Amino acid sequence: MRATPSEVAGLTPAAARRRFRDGLVAPTAGWCAGYAQANLLIVPKDIAFDVLLFAQRNPKPCPVLGVLDAGQTSGPLLAGGDIRTDVPAYTVYRDGRLVETLDSLAGHWRDDLVTFLIGCSFTFEAPMMAAGIPIAHVDQGRNVPMYRTSVRAESAGRIGGPLVVSMRPIPASQVADAVRITSRYPAVHGAPVHVGDPGALGITDLAEPDFGEAVEIPDGTIPVFWACGVTPQAAVMESRPPIAFGHAPGHMLITDARDADYQVP
């Protein structure tokens, strides 16, 4: 049974996590309105310092909302929850390769695993939509298109990789508003990294994203690029740790933090 959009928008994060813990697998867009959703990255303690330093050096693509201690399975962002079961779907990477998608990590847990919760652009799309800015991938019912760029993120120890960006085509008259609004959310990707010139980022064809889905680009819009939370996953994969876990695209952790907590000033 698939929950209806209006029903899931009103759920508390704890109630939503309970459904996923009980076995529901569903994308989380539109769930728990007003609460921040997070990208997931779980790595062995051995490389956790490098990952945290990579995030510190690349705050736009890697806004860290929280880190659980090694072996810890719950924390203030998911009070009463369990990180091994409360995400709708997980990806498993061995030696940097995606080998499996699972609905629970309970069978894979180890006491040396460190969990990173990383901000997600859902947090800034809501205020853009509230300001009347159309979000093409939402209107078209697709996942946001994401692209590897020719820009390298700043590396840290063994962790390095390309900057990955998401793209939203914004009406030319509203580009300034989109910049202004998203720059108020520096803790969740913040202002765009690039406006209007895909070639300068090494993107040759907007119709062929590396992750997510292509969107139709409405007339009169300018492609606007934001740093993307896939960047740390791509970098960790490049370093080929024996084991790492993420969330399946669009199947995020729903946290107890409110989107408004990340707004400045």
Residues near a second copy (CB under 8 A): 48-49, 52-53, 56-57, 64, 66-67, 69, 156-157, 180, 183-184, 186-187, 190-191, 264-265
| CA-based nearest residue to 239, from 115, 153, 166, 147 | 153
Query: Minimum distance from CB of 180 to a second copy (Å)?
Result: 6
Query: Minimum distance from CB of 3 to a second copy (Å)?
Result: 33
**Closer of 104 and 155 to a second copy (Cβ):** 155
Element (H, E) at 230: helix 230-238
Query: Minimum distance from CB of 76 to a second copy (Å)?
Result: 9
E strands, the chain, in order: 35-44, 64-68, 90-94, 97-102, 113-119, 146-152, 162-171, 194-195, 221-227, 243-247, 253-258
**Closer of 18 and 184 to a second copy (Cβ):** 184
**CA gap 46, 91 in Å, rounded:** 20
**Closer of 72 and 140 to a second copy (Cβ):** 72
**CA gap 168, 176 in Å, rounded:** 13
Residue 174's SS3 state is: helix
**Closer of 159 and 228 to a second copy (Cβ):** 159
Assigned token pair, 85: 């079961």
**Closer of 69 and 95 to a second copy (Cβ):** 69
Angle formed by the axes of helices 175-182 and 122-130, to 10°?
A: 130
Query: Minimum distance from CB of 34 to a second copy (Å)?
Result: 20
**CA gap 235, 57 in Å, rounded:** 13
Query: Minimum distance from CB of 183 to a second copy (Å)?
Result: 3
Query: Minimum distance from CB of 108 to a second copy (Å)?
Result: 23
Query: Minimum distance from CB of 240 to a second copy (Å)?
Result: 20
**Closer of 190 and 246 to a second copy (Cβ):** 190
Beta strands across the sheet bearing 221-227? 146-152, 162-171, 221-227, 194-195
**Closer of 127 and 250 to a second copy (Cβ):** 127
Q: Which residues pair with 68 in a beta bridge?
A: 115
Q: How many helices (H) and strands (E) does the chain have?
A: 7, 11
| CA-based nearest residue to 71, from 117, 113, 121, 125 | 113
